[in-house]
Amino acid sequence: MNLISKIIVLAGALLLLLGACALLFLPSFPPLLFILYALAIIVISTIALLLSSLVVKHINPEKITIKAAPDQDISLKTNPVIFSVRSVFPLELFPDKYILQEKTMSVIKKKFFFSSEIETVQIKDILSSRLYTGPVLVSLTLVRKMPGFPEIQLTNLWKSDGLKFKQYLDALIMKENKLVKVPNDLSLKSKKKLIYEIGREKEVEIEV
């Protein structure tokens, strides 16, 4: 959740608290008025949060720092960020972040305002991906190569973001399996473009 969203949530909570205090300590304060007041605060806060989420729905790749496990601690120079998305608010109160790098993919699940859980998986350990699409939103299921390991679920993504994420991921899976070659001496911009083109050429698996 970005700073603007946090401020909106805290302001809404403070206004609700003030309304509750008025209801408790002012006998003449009508309960019906408090209910209408609370509903108005919730609606206004939800709309404001949705608008702020739409404005900053993408993560800035240049400002991302990932804390990986020791065996996954790969420099951003050799493992640059290729693409990143986040799930859609308000379908998820604390939107998840999905960061796709050249050799790894990280899922950052927000638990509360300042706490999160990070899972990083090597691209070479992902077997395949499947896209489940709706009119506006999509979800992705990633199947691991190792039997017994749970599938990775990426949920409530904007349709364009989910499709592009899958295209990048499919190309990186092909790269890690030596099915395509991406020169290491390319600039990051050229590398992203080439990876995206490879992903677009691959047939996309979709379930409605």
Encoded tokens for 90: 């308000």
* pLDDT tens per residue, range 15-40: 767 767 766 777 676 777 767 777 77
**Torsion angle of C-alpha atoms 116, 90, 81, 200, degrees rounded to 10:** 140
- For residues 42-54, give the mean pLDDT: 65
Give the DSSP letter of residue 123: G
* pLDDT tens per residue, range 98-128: 999 999 999 998 776 667 789 999 999 999 9
Strands 126-133 and 206-207: parallel
Average pLDDT, rounded, for the chain: 77
Residue 40's pLDDT is what?
Answer: 76
* Alpha-carbon span 109 to 97, nearest angstrom: 7
pLDDT at 133 over 60: yes
Decide which of 67 and 189 is more confident: 189
Residue 148's pLDDT is what?
Answer: 85
